[in-house]
Amino acid sequence: MIDHNPAGPEPIGESAAEVPVAPSPASENAVIELDGLTVRFGKATILDRLEARLSGRAIGLLGPNGAGKTTLLHTLLGFHDARSGTARVLGHDVRRERRAVRREIGYMPERESFVAGMSGVRFVQMMAELSGLPAAEALERAHQSLFYVGLGEARYRNIETYSFGMKQLVKFAQAIVHGPRVLLLDEPTNGLDPPARSRMLRLIREVRDSGRAHILLSSHLLRDVEECCEEVLILRDGRISAHSDLAAERRTHHKFLVLELRGDGEASFIEALTELGAECAEAPGRRWKMVLPEGVGVADLYRLASERSLQIRRLDYKRDSLEEIFLQAMGA
């Protein structure tokens, strides 16, 4: 039996039931390890020698269609066999310890996978029983999960009568009902309208912030990952194109600037900045993109420009973004 943790996020809906997600292991341990993982379908290589150690509380899995995101999730679940290499979830090998892996995981699939004629509470109860909970506890957890996601009033209705957004919430409820320590979410906001998307992202952030489960969020929406995740793994053509600690990126002191200049001292100005350690690249329209090193600030830019009778007509000041990381990973 998985004990409930009394601390955690406020539930959504009218019930005061807790989200039934068990405490997770120490954050310094890897949640998911990819060790030369290779998966092939026939002669086609879908995942090619993936090597990574993922330890974030919420990990974003990004990539274009066909990059291998869903295949990676299915391999972690044991649906696909690795041709070579392996993966581990909380230290359990997905090739040799499939039952142990599945006990730790809650999975929200992208596609609908309901049973016709079932009410919401019966379906979630069934999924809890399939995860190993006794019937009475599974029913109790099903009620709690549905109240938590905001479907308490609709839990006795057949799922066929639910809207698309409600069906997504049922999928989330069955993913958390048995108290997993790792949640695999495959495109949880795909097709949702803005209010439903906001509710889903709120649920994901609440589980993340509760400290009860690690999350692997697969999405093609950069904004969803940026809002929820602290680590990102980007796949391209079945290979890892980038692996970034977003939390560290957000804490970085490197500043990315775009300047628009007017005057005749432009070359001297750029030369002086380069000597100070700035990285400069020319852009159209007499603009320059640059990264300032530690110890060099905006005041230094205006001082150097003034010494050369050069005007800074415009200055945009920003941090690196997930969009830029993703575009670099895609080779754009």
In total, how many domains does the chain have?
A: 2
177 and 317, same domain (yes or no)? no
Give the integer Cα–Cα distance in Å for 58 and 218: 11
Which of 17-26, 96-105, 212-221 is least confident? 17-26
Chain centroid to Cα 262, Å, comes to: 42
72-89 mean pLDDT: 94
Domain boundary among 249, 273, 308: 249
Percent of the chain with pLDDT over 90: 60
Residue 231 belongs to what domain range?
Answer: 32-249
Q: Which pTM was predicted?
A: 0.74
Phi-psi region of 9 (alpha: psi -120 to 50; beta: other; left: phi over 0): beta
227 and 315, same domain (yes or no)? no
pLDDT at 8 > cutoff 70: no
227 and 283, same domain (yes or no)? no
106-116 mean pLDDT: 91
230 and 262, same domain (yes or no)? no
Residue 220 φ then ψ, to 5°:
-105, 5
pLDDT at 27 > cutoff 60: no
